[in-house]
Structure 1
Amino acid sequence: MVRAGLARFRRTGRHLLADGDQAHMVARILIIGGYGNFGTYIARTLANDESIRLLIGGRSADKAHAFSASLEAANAAEGHAIDIDGDLTEALGRIAPDIVIHTTGPFQTQDHRVARACIAQGCHYLDLADAREFVATIDRLDAEAKAKDVLVVSGASSVPCLTAAVIDAYLPSFGRLKAVDYGISAAQHTNRGLATTSAVLSYVGKPIEMLRDGAMKTVYGWEDTHAVRYPGLGTRLFGNCDIPDLTLFPQRYPTLRSMRFCAGHELKALHIGTRMLGVLVRLRVIGSLSDHAGSLLKLAFAFDRFGSGRSGFHMFMSGLGHDGNPLERRFWIVARSGHGPYIPCMPAILLARQLARERVRKPGARPCVDLIDLDSYLAALSDLDIEINRDDIEA
């Protein structure tokens, strides 16, 4: 067994750990932004996996070391200094990861330099990007990734991974899927960070191309305000958002005539306030709200006493059944106890575990679709305070 393990070590670069008469391979997984909002969720979930050694990376070596020391990890975690704007070749060569999970946003202002550096290093790459162009163009690295026999996945998060998985699960019910209308409502008590806030604010009041009535049309971020009532959660307000799906899905589901993706705050006052600021952006009275993310984030925290730790996701699909009659399907997720942020983290967690065990052997670069099915995704959420509601309605 040890001899076989050594042969595998030479082939993959993974570390061989001996445990008495047993030996097992351990993948070194670097989480860039590992002590940040999403990074901490991922790290704590992966920490007890005996096939993984966590490498907590960030600009602050002290914070990386402190957080890695706090983890009750199956294999002692390490802290490392790494700056995505710095010398990535040096950093990755020093840290020597097998897999990199990139969580440091906002991705709207980044290019693919981290993914390219991972390909050059010969390690797999996953990110939690929600930026439309960033995710939709990751396949430009496909030839490079295949040449180095690594997997490069962008958007290993709610969009487009969960959203595509939901549509794929329901698609067989439709003779023709014509429209999808879906959104995410954040909890007020979620652990909000500056990068996530900047990403959301970057498109408030800005033009967005969205599929409407069979053609791409211009809408504006945070406009088209509408209410959605969630089972057991109440009514939440939503406005237009820009995500990778808006580019990927019209090609992936060619029968679609209309798409709408929206997001919203839990508190209606904050949602309406953001909507009003969006009007000022559209009128060019002020520039991008992302320039004021720090101040607006502090203002949002002042409303925490009026909110909760409950967030939601909904998707409404409509079209024609196989009998030619109108058909609608509805899908809901309600997260309580502040567990909502685990939902966007889950694709990266699942793929990291699979890569650590060499269960994903399809090298190349692609958005995160066709890698995790809906049942697997939901099963991974089963131990959390998360409720799934499928309201299947034939109209």
Structure 2
Amino acid sequence: MTCRVAIIGGYGNFGAHVARSLAGDPAIQLIIAGRSLAKAEAFARALSVANPAEAGAYDLTGPPEALAALRPDLVINMVGPYNGQSYAVAEAAIACGAHYCDIADAREFVTGIGVLDDAAKRAGVAVLAGASSVPALTAAYCDEAAKTIRTIRAVEYGISGAEQSNAGAGTVAAVLSFVGQRFTTLQGGRMTPVTGWSELRRVDLPSVGQRWFGRANAPDLDLFAARYSGLQDHSFWAGHAIAPLHFGTVLMGWLARIGLLPRLDRFAPHLVRIASLFDWLGTGTSGFFMTITGEGADGVPLTRRHWIIARSGHGPFIPCLPVILIARHMAAGRRYEPGARPCLGIISLAEYRAEFAHFDIEATDA
């Protein structure tokens, strides 16, 4: 019996990649859904699939009956940005007895998903928010490190994207939502306010060179302090690969900070078009760095350093890997504990690395 997987936003930028990745699995029946039934039908027809793909119309605002009509076993919400988005899709999935996951990286959305825990448990379904680079991938690295670093004291990491115009307005809006805005991060054991895209720094990425980074917001900044009890310092950074775009974002963030511009995410569609003018300066290479420090069981200081370099424009595939793996696992018979929670401890680092091998992605450690 096949697992019916409904991808909301299945014909969009990231949703299409997830659909193509799952299309050849004989244990999966794909349902491509979105606001436009015509677009969903056209994309479903064009897919090369093991089982004929279906199409349906479903908007983020419901009604729940529209999702129930698709008869899903698993719902994957690929429609961003998740900042300010309600839990309507997850609630509709629970109502029709379907499991749910998404690629959200919005702090409040992911950390607040527990409000649906009781309803998910009553329905016997798993609701997993944040099956993305943050917090799923970053937690996988920390969980692996915790096998030897018994007490993790400090964690810092950052993501430098390739050409931003390739990311889509939703992804760009997610980044712009915290640029010039205040949020908290763990410093010296206390949650301390910082400003998004501030405190500029340059980080050397292997085989890539130096790139600029600024402070970034993520669900991890709330979740990891409880997950790793000895954690004292925690920072997340982000940057553009193309320097003029990075410093243009710095300037806009400063203007937003002093009140001369509103929140920048509302300008995402326009800024994507402007960013496309700089694509000729890009290389299609994304980078990730991570440093984890602490002590081993004997109290000896330990440090683990990690890098991911994604070439050929393959960086945007990384946030999609957790939902792809969750769908495959469920179709193969794996069952996740019912309840609503952030996607932590669901995908192991070994599973990530096995998937990297299918792309122009190199992961190294030191």
Given residue 26 of structure 1, which amino acid in structure 2 is its aligned partner? T
Partner of 1:86: 62
Partner of 2:178: 203
Q: How far 1:141 sits from its partner (Å)?
A: 1.2
Is 2:26 the counterpart of 1:50? Answer: yes
Provide the secondary structure at the position in 2 that maps to 1:353.
Answer: helix
Given residue 331 of structure 1, which amino acid in structure 2 is its aligned partner? H
Contact 1:189–1:309 (Cα < 8 Å) also in 2: no
Q: How far 1:314 sits from its partner (Å)?
A: 1.2
Contact 2:132–2:319 (Cα < 8 Å) also in 1: yes
Contact 2:165–2:272 (Cα < 8 Å) also in 1: no
Is 2:27 the counterpart of 1:34? Answer: no
Unpaired runs of 5+ residues, structure 2, are none
Provide the secondary structure at the position in 2 that maps to 1:315.
Answer: strand
Relative to the length of structure 2, the TM-score reads 0.97
Given residue 167 of structure 2, which amino acid in structure 1 is its aligned partner? R
Q: How far 1:90 sits from its partner (Å)?
A: 2.1
Partner of 2:358: 383
Partner of 1:117: 92
Is 2:223 the counterpart of 1:231? Answer: no
Provide the secondary structure at the position in 2 that maps to 1:174.
Answer: coil
Partner of 1:214: 189
Counterparts of 1:1-395 in structure 2 under 5 Å? 25-87=1-63, 89-188=64-163, 191-391=166-366
Counterpart-to-counterpart distance in 2, 1:134 and 1:189: 23
Deviations 1:114-146 (A, max 9, x none): 111110110110111111111111122111111
Counterpart-to-counterpart distance in 2, 1:377 and 1:192: 21
Q: How far 1:66 sits from its partner (Å)?
A: 1.1
Q: How far 1:296 sits from its partner (Å)?
A: 1.1
Deviations 1:285-307 (A, max 9, x none): 11101121121111111100110
Q: How far 1:170 sits from its partner (Å)?
A: 0.9
Counterpart-to-counterpart distance in 2, 1:367 and 1:75: 31
Counterpart-to-counterpart distance in 2, 1:286 and 1:336: 34
Which structure's CA Rg is the greater one? 1
Q: How far 1:376 sits from its partner (Å)?
A: 1.2
Counterpart-to-counterpart distance in 2, 1:350 and 1:294: 30
Provide the secondary structure at the position in 2 that maps to 1:53.
Answer: strand
Given residue 62 of structure 2, which amino acid in structure 1 is its aligned partner? G
Provide the secondary structure at the position in 1 that maps to 2:238.
Answer: strand
Deviations 1:62-105 (A, max 9, x none): 11111111110000112211111231x22112211111000101
Counterpart-to-counterpart distance in 1, 2:131 and 2:298: 36
Deviations 1:182-240 (A, max 9, x none): 01111117732111111111110000110011100000000011111111111111111
Given residue 223 of structure 1, which amino acid in structure 2 is its aligned partner? S
Q: How far 1:323 sits from its partner (Å)?
A: 4.0
Counterpart-to-counterpart distance in 2, 1:373 and 1:245: 16
Give the aligned CA root-mean-square deviation in angstroms. 1.2
Unpaired runs of 5+ residues, structure 1, are 1-24
Counterpart-to-counterpart distance in 2, 1:348 and 1:247: 22
Deviations 1:235-255 (A, max 9, x none): 111111111101100111111
Partner of 1:10: none
Relative to the length of structure 1, the TM-score reads 0.90
Q: How far 1:176 sits from its partner (Å)?
A: 2.6
What percentage of aligned pairs have identical amino acids? 48
Counterpart-to-counterpart distance in 2, 1:103 and 1:308: 26
